[in-house]
Amino acid sequence: MEENKNTHWRTIMNTKFLSGDELPEDGKVVTIKDFSNEKFFSPRTKKEEDNVILLFKELSKPMILTNRKAKQISKAIGTPFMGEWANKQVHIYPVIEKHFGEMFKVVNIKKNIVVVKEELTPDSDKWDKAKESLKSGAITIEKIKQHYELSEVNRLKLIK
């Protein structure tokens, strides 16, 4: 671990479920992979209970699905049917809430806002710089596609 790095303990502990402390402040867009049932201890009831967890393609840890999170996801995706949630994206982000008499960062959900990317074409003012950067190895086609729409025809022109 780097010295002098101000790291929250939850980000380095080997906890089983996703916590709000493990998310960047602006959140993260994730794709729902699947859901599953799991038994674990509830601090509220002091008993082991069946719970639903959500698995995401981009994260190694699952998220505990609470009633509130299920409602948020239903609203964001447009359906309460969990079988239709697979491969849908949501934006998860941390919020601070009071639970069990203490303040915690918890995971909250909102609809993924689709960002429309500018198309990269030979007429674009960024074309020459992209072509140069690609040729020098400073950037890859995949990196370009993260920021711009790139048709197959223009991709081929760019790599020539």
Note the pTM of the prediction, 2 decimals.
0.62
Helix, strand, or coil (residue 74): helix
pLDDT per residue as tens digits for the range 14-62: 788 888 888 888 899 999 999 999 998 877 788 999 999 999 999 999 9
| Of 104, 69, 102, the residue nearest 85 (C-alpha) | 69
Q: Report in angstroms the alpha-carbon separations of 152 from 74, 95, 115.
A: 35, 41, 20
pLDDT per residue as tens digits for the range 95-110: 998 877 888 888 999 8
Q: Is the pLDDT of residue 69 over 80?
A: yes
Render the burial of 79-95: b for 16+ CB within 10 Å, e for the rest.
eeebeebeebbbbbbbe
